[in-house]
Amino acid sequence: MNIGITCYPVYGGSGVVATELGKALAGRGHHVHFIAYSMPFRLGHVAGNITFHEVNVNTYPLFEYPPYSLALTSKMVDVVHHEELDLMHVHYAIPHATSAVQAQQILKQKDERVPVVTTLHGTDITLVGRDPSFRPVVNYSINESDGVTAVSKFLRRETHEHFDIESEIEVIPNFIDTDRFQRANKDHFKQALCPNGEKVIVHVSNFRPVKRAQDVVEVFHKLCGEGLCDLKLLLVGDGPDRVPTEHLARELGVYEDVRFLGKQEPIEEILSIADVFLMPSGSETFGLAALEAMACGVPVVCSDIGGLPELVPDEEAGFLCPLGDVGALTDRTRRILTDEDLHDRMARAARRRAVGAYSLDEIVPRYEAYYEEVRERSLAAA
Ligand code: GMT
C-alpha cells in the first residue's frame, strides 16, 4: 500500500509510535510518506520506500497565529494526489485528524478518494481535546474518519464517555522493537555512572507536570533516608518540570546521587543498567516509556491509572500504586531493590509480557489488517 502518515515529529510517544510504525510498514514492502512540519526524530534518514514531505507554514504580518492545520491540509491534498496514496493514517487528533478529513473533502470534489485512519493517543482525548475550545472539532473529526484506533481500552472508554462517537473504535496497543529494546551488557556505562556498583532507578519522561517527576525524587529521598544508600537515580528527558525537580533534589540533599541526563536517544542503553523503572504519572493512556523498560527486563513501579493496569500486570511485571502515594511507591521500589529473587522474577515477566503482547511483529500486522478493512469499507460505501 501507499500510506501517508502524519504525526508530531518531536520528542513524544505518539510521534515515536507513528515513526516506528512507518518504518516497520516500509520494511514490510509498503510505501510510506511522512507528512509533518519537520523530520520525525526517530526516522533517522529517509531511504528506499520512505519519503518525507515537509509542511511549510507561510508567515504573514496579519497572522498572529500561523494557520498550520491549513498548510497541513494543503500538503495532504498535494501528496495524496501526486503520490496516489491508498490511505492516510494520522496520529493525535488535534489538528491532524481535522486536516485529514478536510483534505478528504477537498479531494472528493476532484473525484479522488482516500480513507482516513485516526489514532487517538492521549491528551487529544483526556485533556486538550475535551476542552470546549476544541471539543466540537475533535468530535467531528473522529466521526468523519473512516477508521479510528485507540492505544488502550481505557482510552476507548474515555473517548466514548466524553465525546459523541458514532463509529467503532478499534483498540490497537502500542508496540516495541524487542530486538532493539532488550537488556544488553553495558558494564562500561554502569561503571561510569555508578562507580561503586550502586543500584539504579530510572525515570524517563518529557517532564510535564502530568509526569509527576518530583514524586520520583521524593521516593529516592525516602529510600536514601531508610539507609538504602547504594543507589543512583537517572532522570532522562527534559521539559518544564526539570528545573523544579532539580531544585527539589538539592533541597532534599540527594542531588549528588541524581543524574539529569537530558534527552537521550539510545534509551535502551540506559535501561540496560536499570534495576527499577518509576512512572508516577497522573495520567497515562498507555505508557510507552514503561513498555520500553519492560522490554529491557526492568520491573516497573507506576500509578494505578489510565492504561497502565492493562500494560503492567500488578505484582508480576512490577507494582501498581495509588496515584500520588509516595509511601506506596517507595515501599514497592524498596521491595524490588532489596529482594533479588523478586527482582529477577519481575524482570523476566516484564520482558516476557513485552515480547508476548507488544512486539512489532505482533502489532504491525494488526494495523495492516485494519487498513485493509477500512479501505474495503470505504470503497464499498463510495
Ligand atoms: O497525549 C499526550 O500527552 C502526548 C502523547 C505523546 O505524543 O507523547 O502521549 C500519549 O501517547 C503515548 C503514545 O501512545 C502514550 O504512551 C502516553 O501514555 C500518552 N500520554 C498521556 O496519556 C499523558
User: Domain holding 90: CATH number?
Assistant: 3.40.50.2000
Are residues 284 and 343 located together in one domain of the fold?
Answer: yes
| Residue 59 resides in a domain | yes
3-class SS of residue 10: coil
User: Which amino acid residue places its CA nearest to atom 21 of ligand 1?
Assistant: 284
Q: Do 237 and 316 fall within a single domain?
A: yes
Same domain? 128 vs 254: no
pTM exceeding 0.85: yes
Tell me if 366 sits within 8 A of 24, measured CB to CB.
no
Region of residue 237 (phi > 0: left; psi between -120 and 50: alpha; otherwise: beta): left
The amino acid at residue 22 is G
Distance CA 176, CA 192 (A): 28
Q: Are the CB atoms for 179 and 359 separated by under 8 Å?
A: no
In a domain, residue 36? The reply is: yes
Residues in the chain, overall count: 382
pLDDT of residue 226: 84
Domain annotation covers residue 179: no
Q: For residue 233, which of 252, 250, 258 has the smallest C-alpha distance?
A: 258
Residues 233 and 369 in one domain: no
pLDDT for residue 381: 85
Give 150 Cα–ligand 1 centroid separation in angstroms: 11
Average predicted confidence (pLDDT) for the chain: 95
In 3-state terms the chain splits into helix, strand, coil percentages (rounded to 5) of: 45, 15, 35
For residues 6 and 88, the answer to whether their CB atoms sit within 8 Å is yes
pLDDT for the residue numbered 48: 86
Q: Is residue 182 part of a domain?
A: no
Work out which ligand 1 atom sits closest to the CA atom of 291.
Answer: 16
Is 80 exceeded by the pLDDT of residue 11? no
Same domain, 75 and 146: yes
Distance 122 CA to ligand 1 centre (A): 5
- If asked whether residues 364 and 340 sit together in one domain, one would say no
Model pLDDT, residue 188 = 85
Q: Give the distance (Å) from ligand 1 centre to CA of residue 129.
A: 13
Task: Tell me, in angstroms, the distance from the centre of ligand 1 to residue 64's CA.
Answer: 28
Question: Is 337 within a domain?
Answer: yes
208 and 317 housed in the same domain? yes
First to last CA, the chain: 19
Q: Is residue 228 domain-shared with residue 377, that is, in the same domain?
A: no
**Residue with the nearest Cα to atom 23 of ligand 1?**
284
DSSP 145: S
Q: Mean per-residue pLDDT for 67-75?
A: 97
Average pLDDT on 181-202 reads: 90
Whether residues 136 and 231 share a domain: the answer is no
Q: Give the pLDDT confidence of 220-252 residue by residue, as tens digits.
A: 999 998 877 799 999 999 999 999 999 999 999
How many domains would you assign to the chain? 2
* Helix ranges restricted to H, 28-180: 68-83, 93-109, 123-126, 135-144, 153-162
Under a CB-based contact definition with an 8 Å cutoff, are residues 6 and 100 in contact? yes
Cα(263)–Cα(238) distance, integer angstroms: 6
Structure confidence at residue 265 (pLDDT): 81
- At 165-178, the pLDDT tens digits run 998 999 999 999 99
Residue among 14, 206, 363 to mutate when testing ligand 1 (max atoms within 8 A of CB): 14
d(CA 163, CA 134): 11
pLDDT of residue 192: 86
pLDDT for 10 equals 83
Q: Does the residue 102 lie in any domain? A: yes
Query: Which of 53, 49, 44, 59 minimizes the C-alpha distance to 77?
Result: 53
> Which pLDDT score, from 0 to 100, does residue 228 have?
73
Tens digit of pLDDT for each residue in 279-304? 999 999 999 999 999 999 999 999 99
44-66 pLDDT, tens digit per residue, is 877 789 999 999 999 999 999 99
- DSSP secondary structure, 35-53, as one string: EESS--TT--S--TTEEEE
Handedness of CA 193, 197, 202, 207 (dihedral sign): negative
Question: What confidence score (pLDDT) does residue 207 get?
Answer: 96
User: Based on the domain organization, do 109 and 47 belong to the same domain?
Assistant: yes
- How far, in Å, is the centroid of ligand 1 from the Cα of 12? 7
Instruction: Tell me whether residue 158 is in a domain.
Output: yes
Nearest ligand 1 atom to alpha carbon 92: 7
Domain span holding position 297: 187-358
Q: Report residues whose beta carbon is within 6 angstroms of any ligand 1 atom.
A: 8, 12-15, 17, 92, 121-123, 126, 151, 174, 210, 283-288
- 253 and 338 fall within a common domain: yes
Pick from 82, 89, 81: nearest CA to 121: 89
Q: Is 180 a domain residue?
A: no
Together in a domain, 373 and 343: no
